[in-house]
């Protein structure tokens, strides 16, 4: 398998966040698809490759490096200026069901460490997500 490019690595981070609790829900999968379809960072990504990229990530998770290996690959493939975007995409997936399990929180913590995301940036991303996804009821 070839080294992932930035698009693939961004998708890997969303997949590992979704798969962290061993239950990739329909809502999480739909959010991954929505992020890939609508975020400018993916504007030149071929939508038809999404399933293959997600499967590649699953395969990597089962190899020797496991989660840590995927996170290292992602850090190398994603330009530093997009590390906050990578965290925001992963957080979108974790927050889609409005509750986070311990496994998701742990993966997000690992992402923050691997991508060297500072606390103020983390707080802004998480607060922005909460504000954007609230309903009236």
Q: What does the domain layout of the chain look like in residue ranges?
A: 6-132
Average pLDDT over residues 66-89: 95
Q: What is the pTM of this model?
A: 0.92
Q: Does domain 6-132 match CATH 1.10.1740?
A: no
Contact 90/28 with Cβ under 8 angstroms? no
Q: What is the pLDDT of residues 87-129, one digit of tens each?
A: 999 999 999 987 888 999 999 999 999 999 999 999 999 999 9
Tens digits of residue pLDDT in 12-23: 999 999 988 887
According to DSSP H, which parts of 1-137 are helical?
Answer: 6-19, 26-38, 50-61, 66-77, 83-95, 102-115, 119-133
């Amino acid at each position: 398998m070839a080294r992932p490019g930035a698009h693939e690595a961004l998708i890997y981070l969303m997949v590992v966040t979704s798969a962290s609790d061993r239950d990739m829900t329909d809502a999480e999968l739909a959010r991954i698809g929505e992020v890939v379809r609508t975020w400018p960072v993916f504007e030149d990504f071929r939508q038809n490759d999404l399933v293959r990229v997600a499967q590649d990530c699953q395969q990597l998770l089962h190899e020797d490096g496991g989660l840590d290996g995927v996170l290292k690959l992602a850090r190398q493939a994603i330009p530093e200026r997009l590390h906050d975007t990578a965290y925001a995409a992963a957080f979108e997936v974790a927050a889609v069901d409005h509750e986070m399990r311990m496994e998701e929180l742990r993966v997000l913590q690992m992402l923050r460490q691997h991508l060297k995301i500072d606390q103020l940036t983390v707080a802004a991303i998480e607060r922005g997500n909460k504000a954007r996804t609230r309903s009236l009821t």
